[in-house]
Chain A
Amino acid sequence: MADLAIDVRDLTKTYRTPFARRKVEALRGVTFQVEKGHIFGFVGPNGAGKTTTIRTLMGLIRPTGGSATILGKQLPSRAARFQVGFLPEAPYFYDYLTVAELCDLAGRLFGIPAAVRKKRADELIERVGLSRARGQALKKYSKGMLQRAGLAQALMNDPELVVLDEPMSGLDPIGRKEVRDLILSLRDQGKTVFFSTHILSDVEAITDRVAIIVKGELREHGTPGELVSRTVLGTDVMIRIAEAADVTALTDAGDRVRRKGDALSLTLPANADIDAWIAKAHAAGGKIVQVTPRHETLEDLFLRKVEDAKASPSPGGDT
């Protein structure tokens, strides 16, 4: 078995509502593994259980059942936390501190000597692009700046595993790209990065493996390639054909039909006979411009899993 940074087995978390004592199952037997040196994307809609899973891994929440190890250490483990950097979701920090003081506080909690703390804080503040705002109190920071400050404090201990809860949240496109680059550079340094998000383009762009969680249950788990190449949804075709030509016979079988000038594009279903359709198009005087099989994207898969979950009985989870 590969060297694992995170190994989660059958993790469950059940809450009881304060007065009605109704059971709310936030996690229902979640199992997944994260290999060392990988970037792992944890995807799910709001309330799916992403944050509950992460908070359980970080020791903020006690699981109801199941087990988890971080870097080979059974949780809860203080020793494991020495090797982990954590950025909470929508991070709230002591707003009277500056980013340097926040990093210093983090460094003190890791027992890092003062001189090393200062040097590392300076490097990280530079790396997350907060050098010009280093003298300002965090209460004056924008949401994106707070996210960067959170990243800086998460990396103070030079962690082996970095856990980021919605790190792209609140960032503009440039900020998102910078965080993506930072995550990639962490992997280049041999670190493992586990991050949650609902921004699927980020996941497709940088992750080695992805897990999709919906309603507290893991629905898919694999590399982005494995997950999205399983299904061909249809074939996108484009032809050039005279504007006056009757194309009813060609468009009957497809959907997403668009006609502009002499350009006709549509999507044929997955089970369509493409050769027969092309022959028909030629017979009608059309000229083939493009034939592209349309594979399922991560977004398609994600939406399908969410729809599947909606159709299944609700466990009542909402975290």
Chain B
Amino acid sequence: MIGRIWAIALNTFREAARIRVLYGIVVLVVGANLLSIVLGEMAHEETRVARDVGLTGMSLFGALTAIFLGVFLLYTEVQRRTIHAIVSKPIERWEFVVGKYLGMALVLTVLVVLFGLAMTLVNAVQGTPVTGNVVQAIVLAWFEVLTVAAIAIFFSSFSTPFMSGIFALAMWVIGRVTPDVEAAARTASPWIKTLTRITLEIVPDLHLFAVSGRSIDGAHVSVHGDFVSWGYVGLAGLHGLGWIIGLLALSALLFHRRDFV
């Protein structure tokens, strides 16, 4: 089982590594990091700007890449019929879905590492060491990206890339602003409150992975000052893992029922 999943994961990694758009995204993020040196000097907040730009770029472009890979890689297997020569072999369909996800996760991990290295390099140029807070923020961004990839794969298992992309993007945005939506709904009519509550229940709490600048249990947290504990990072990771497992299980179930004509 592990061997088959790994075979699909490695092949997916190889496939994704050939997508030129990914190299464009890396160049864009590295460029933004370099630009943050100039912006930081203009604002006389070199370190703050560099970290904010680096972490935002990691989170934003990481999530967008996850959506892009998630909605295309599974769909193109079916569309181009490459899947015919694969699922006719003794591999279970859920193993194929998990393998595809792991391959994507591998690509996204490499991207997050590259984005992190770019930020570290800029910090090093500025003479600022990488703090534990920054490492925690990078790990949280990584969890977020992996969760978004599972969301995209889930939609891709039954929908076209365009629709999957829209759904996944919508879930990412809503998941990011859950506390704000909840706060806004407090003063709304009862049925809007109910609708909001139901909507937020079926959306992963992605805001848990982007906490810098927010309040947690009444305390303000910031990557530039007092940040979350490793315990929080671990719990957020478990939250993401739960969603990833659930979404992959649903994807596998939907994929299992499909005819490949």
Contacts and interface: CB of A to CB of B under 8 A. Distances in A.
A81 B90 contact: yes
**What 10 A-B pairs come out closest when comparing CB atoms?**
A108-B7, A58-B88, A88-B84, A60-B260, A109-B89, A81-B90, A86-B88, A61-B259, A92-B81, A82-B90
Interface string A48-76: 00001001001111100000000000000
12 contacts: A61-B261, A81-B88, A86-B88, A88-B88, A91-B85, A92-B84, A93-B82, A94-B15, A106-B85, A109-B91, A157-B89, A319-B261
Contacts of A88: 81, 84-85, 88
Q: Which of A60, A150, A153, A319 has the most CB of B within 10 A?
A: A60
Interface string A81-103: 11010101001111011000000
A105 B260 CA distance: 20
A58 B261 CA distance: 12
B85 A59 contact: no
Interface in A144-195: 150, 153, 157
Contacts of A58: 84, 88
Given A88-B85, A109-B89, A153-B85, A55 B4 contact: no
B11 interface: yes
A127 interface: no
B7 A109 contact: yes
A96 B82 contact: no
Contacts of B15: 94, 96
Interface size class of A (residues with CB under 8 A): 20 to 34
Interface residues of B, number: 24
A109 B82 contact: no
A216 B212 CA distance: 62
Contacts of A105: 7, 11
A78 B86 CA distance: 13
A111 interface: yes
Interface string B28-46: 0000000000000000000
Contacts of B6: 108
Contact of B90 (A94, A110, A153): A110
B4 A78 contact: no
A190 B146 CA distance: 49
B82 A60 contact: no
Contacts of B260: 55, 60-61
B20 interface: no
A108 B259 CA distance: 24
A15 B259 CA distance: 10
A111 B3 contact: yes
Contacts of B259: 60-62
A59 B18 CA distance: 30
A79 B91 CA distance: 10
B82 A94 contact: yes
A109 B261 contact: no
A55 B87 CA distance: 11
A110 B85 contact: no
B88 A60 contact: yes
A142 to B, nearest CB: 18
A106 B82 CA distance: 12
Contacts of A52: 261
A281 to B, nearest CB: 58
Interface in B84-103: 84-92
Contacts of A91: 84-85
A84 B80 CA distance: 22
B14 interface: yes
Q: Which of A15, A58, A97 has the most CB of B within 10 A?
A: A58
Interface string B1-22: 0011011000100110010000
A110 B82 CA distance: 17
Contact of B85 (A79, A93, A96): A93
A82 B89 CA distance: 7
B160 to A, nearest CB: 12
Contacts of A106: 85, 89
Contact of B18 (A79, A93, A96): A96
A78 B80 contact: no
Given A81-B90, A108-B3, A109-B7, A55 B261 contact: yes
Contacts of A79: 90
Contacts of A62: 257, 259
Contacts of B257: 62
Given A15-B261, A60-B87, A92-B84, 15 more contacts: A52-B261, A60-B261, A78-B92, A82-B90, A84-B88, A91-B85, A92-B81, A96-B14, A97-B11, A108-B3, A108-B4, A109-B7, A109-B89, A110-B89, A157-B89
B92 A150 contact: no
A15 B260 CA distance: 12
Given A60-B260, A94-B11, A109-B7, A150 B85 contact: yes
